[in-house]
């Protein structure tokens, strides 16, 4: 994925669903989501084990989220990606962002074929910070 595509995604997106977002501040998902929230993005927690994270209500699945989502940011194991891709396509999200070390080639290809921009093996927090530099 080119830096131009990443920059465009970050500049044009407003709402980010963070799949696997934990309420534990020591977790990477929490730290990344808090950073993004501080930089003006609306964060939507998607985690069936949470009720609220960072002041936002949490949802069990992407399909349960009542607002449009620009980016689906994934903090789950690679084996969960196919189901997340199916939900991403179903809700019409434009971007699937797989955090560092999360991969599923078939699911990524399915998302791309459905017109979803797929960004893999890049931390959204690091990418955003690089855009500000």
Sequence spans of domains, the chain:
3-132
**What pLDDT, in 10s, does the model give residues 37-50?**
999 999 999 999 99
User: Which residue's entry shows tokens 């989501």?
Assistant: 33
- State the Cα–Cα distance between residues 54 and 31, nearest whole angstrom: 10
For the segment 19-27, the average pLDDT, to the nearest whole number, is: 97
Q: Is the pLDDT of residue 3 over 90?
A: no
Contacts of 31 (CB under 8 A, 6+ apart): 25, 125
The CATH architecture to which 3-132 belongs is 3-Layer(aba) Sandwich (3.40)
Q: Render the burial of 51-89: b for 16+ CB within 10 Å, e for the rest.
A: eebbebebbebbeebeeebbbbbbbbeeebbeebbbbbb
pLDDT band at 132 (very low <50, low <70, confident <90, very high): confident
% of the chain beyond a pLDDT of 70: 98
pLDDT at 10: 96
């Amino acid at each position: 994925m080119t830096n131009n595509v990443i920059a465009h995604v970050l500049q044009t997106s407003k709402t980010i669903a963070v799949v696997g977002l934990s309420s534990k501040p020591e977790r990477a998902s929490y730290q990344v989501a808090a950073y993004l929230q501080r930089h003006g993005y609306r964060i939507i927690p998607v985690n069936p084990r949470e009720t609220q994270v960072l002041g936002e209500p949490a949802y069990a699945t992407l399909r349960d989220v009542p607002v449009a989502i620009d980016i689906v940011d994934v903090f789950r194991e690679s084996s969960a990606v196919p189901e997340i891709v199916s939900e991403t396509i179903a809700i019409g999200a434009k971007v699937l962002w797989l955090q560092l070390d999360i991969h599923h080639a078939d699911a990524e290809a399915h998302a791309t074929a459905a017109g979803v921009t797929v960004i893999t093996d890049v931390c959204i927090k690091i990418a955003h910070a690089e855009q500000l530099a």
